[in-house]
Amino acid sequence: MTKPIIGILPLVDVGRESYWMLPGYMRGCELAGGVPVMLPLTEDPSELSALVRACDGFLFTGGQDVCPETYGAKAPALCGETVPERDRMEAALLPLVLAADKPLLGICRGIQSLNALLGGTLTEDIPALRPSAVDHHQSAPYDRPIHTVSLVPESPIAKRLGKTELAVNSCHHQCVDRLAAPLEVMGTAPDGVIEAVRLPGKRFVWAVQWHPEFMYRVDSDSRAIFAAFVEAAGEAGAD
């Protein structure tokens, strides 16, 4: 059986003018039976179309903040570093992925980008705009859980994991604010921050706010999320 090809959005080091990758994104996909490939940073329509044809699934990784302009904000003072080239790539790539019904998994920035591109908004800085007792930005090591997430009963992720509460790690200062109309919540933190969403009507479009790429070695739930994604990509590749 041919292993599904997983296209992974590149991480960008602006200061060093380089693209790079955390091994956990790749290893999580590999252990689930996929072949991960880091994508180029491109907005070229023909290149993106070729990538959608070549890959069976797409992983929207973490990284810098989503540009506020993506969700109509005009006061970016609370944002950290942004990478407009990556925002433009994701804006051009997402419609192609959805049109082809290729599986997509978003992680951290991935859930934020998905929400913004589908018409939702983001909270630019959690500590300043919605402070709570929940620690959303832990220090290393990042493979330890720091808070819980309540999963919506009967949601696809709850069914896959066989539970309605799980312990997760967390390293973000932004989050979903107004949920994009097409998305459906699958999980929330104790303070109400949206932690997991899906796009109904598609083969597989999940996004989570926590970091399974840091926890996959020690956490069966993280491995199960990668497995669900790669299995869906394998089904797409077999079509």
Q: Where in the sequence numbering do the catalytic residues fall?
A: 108, 211, 213
CA–CA separation, 28 vs 123, rounded Å? 29
Q: Which residues, including other chains, have CB under 8 Å from residue 66's CB and lie 6 or more apart?
A: 82, 87, 109, 112, 113, 116, 122, 174
CA–CA separation, 135 vs 133, rounded Å? 6
Strand stretches in 48-193, DSSP E: 57-60, 104-107, 122-123, 147-151, 165-168, 175-176, 184-188
CA–CA separation, 212 vs 107, rounded Å? 8
Radius of gyration from C-alpha coordinates of the chain:
16
